[in-house]
Amino acid sequence: MNGLYELLNRNVSASDSGRDGFFDIQNDYYSPGFWTGYVARARARNLNLQDLAISGNILAYAKAIAIERALGQTDTFRYDRKCAGENYSPLVMLDSRELTDGAVSEINQCIRGLFNEEQYAEFTASICELVGDLLDNVWAHGKSTGFSMAQKWRGPLDGFLFEFAVADCGYGFLRELQRVGMTVTNDREAIEWCIQPGNSTKKRDVGEWEQRLPEDVMGNPMGRFGRVVESENHHMGLGLAKLVTAVEQFHGWCWLASGNAMLYISPDGQRSYINLPIPWQGVALSCRFDSNRVTGTTPLYTGDEFEDILAQLMRD
């Protein structure tokens, strides 16, 4: 399965504009990490499906995951997407709150449906929370350039693998940190900062010159130059740190790319950094879990006085 790692670790000629070797793909299998990055860059360059020159089975699959809609074209897929929300969530461009919330619900519906036994309860609850945080952050940071997707496929043994992914072509971590005045000098340091608990650029600044839209705006007529921001700056910056912890807790895989650095977490919890031959302008992330590995985790509730008192106080 080709994922985000394979997308950004290829020997192809890449340029800064138009169609280049980045968009060349072979007749093979590709995961959400691959597709979200692929489409985010295509959309950023105003390429359409014909420009991408995808053919054969891959083209049929690309249409099934709604690549045309993601590229701003008419969706010509002739069938109902009956398994959307069960086995997969198609490509969704996260350019409005409504679409972002819809994508969160669809991905979480997949997770709850696929991991519906009691043994998965802790995994399901933890990951669904994180999907919400992650997509909301992409919507907030990604300047309406973000895409999401999720997919299940059969595992090598019994069971199955499930991957969800997001990719945007926004500032990326390094530029975002430098924008708010931090002295971070390279992409790897920027990733390291962003996965620390409590760290968020949103805690530090809301861009004074950011073009603002009213809260109830539908869609985003100003494209990448405008976005809706909250009236106040309340971000706590917990999403990525919690995600990394959850990936390690549930023995998953994680690939997180920004600029020319990629963080890779393996199922045994080893973290490593890779220098990317194809830098990623923005942030791209994919997380993969094996149904055989996500069970048997910590108990759901271990007793907490604060929670108990709060439950009494907030009871209707």
Partner 1 sequence: MFNYPIKITDTDLASRQAAAKLRSLIEQQVLSGDKVSIDLGAVFSISESYADELFGVLALRYGLDWLTDHVALKNQKAFVFRAIADAIRQRLSSKSPGTPDIALLAARQALKQRQSRNF
How many of the chain's residues bind partner 1 (CB under 8 A)? 44
Complex with partner 1: residue 31 or 148, whichever CB lies closer: 148
Pick the binder of partner 1 from 45, 69, 175, 242 (CB under 8 A). 242
- Applying CB under 8 A, does 288 fall inside the site for partner 1? no
Taking the mean position of all CA atoms in its chain, how far away is CA 110? 15
Segment lying near partner 1 (by CB under 8 A), choices 21-29, 33-41, 52-60, 105-113? 105-113
Hey, which residues does 154 pair with through a beta bridge?
160
Choose among 203, 195, 211, 201: nearest CA to 179. Answer: 201
> Cβ distance 183 to 174 under 8 Å?
no
> Cα separation of 259 and 64, whole Å?
30
- Applying CB under 8 A, does 6 fall inside the site for partner 1? no
Which of left, alpha, beta for 269 (phi over 0: left; psi -120 to 50: alpha)?
left
DSSP string, 231-293: SS------HHHHHHHHHHHTT-EEEEEEEEEEEEE-TT--EEEEEEEEEEEEEEEEEEEETTT
> Cα separation of 307 and 97, whole Å?
30
Shortest distance, position 230 Cβ to partner 1, whole Å: 5
Choose among 251, 150, 261, 140: nearest CA to 195. Answer: 261
Shortest distance, position 222 Cβ to partner 1, whole Å: 16
- Applying CB under 8 A, does 215 fall inside the site for partner 1? yes
Considering only residues 121 to 140 of the shown chain, the ones binding partner 1 according to CB under 8 A are 125, 128-133, 135-137, 139-140
Shortest distance, position 38 Cβ to partner 1, whole Å: 24
Shortest distance, position 186 Cβ to partner 1, whole Å: 28
x/- binding map, residues 60-99, to partner 1, per CB under 8 A?
A: -------------------------------------x--
> Cα separation of 252 and 162, whole Å?
10
Binding stretches for partner 1 (CB under 8 A): 97, 100-101, 104-105, 108-109, 112, 125, 128-133, 135-137, 139-140, 215, 228, 230-231, 234-236, 238-239, 242, 300-301, 304-307, 309-316
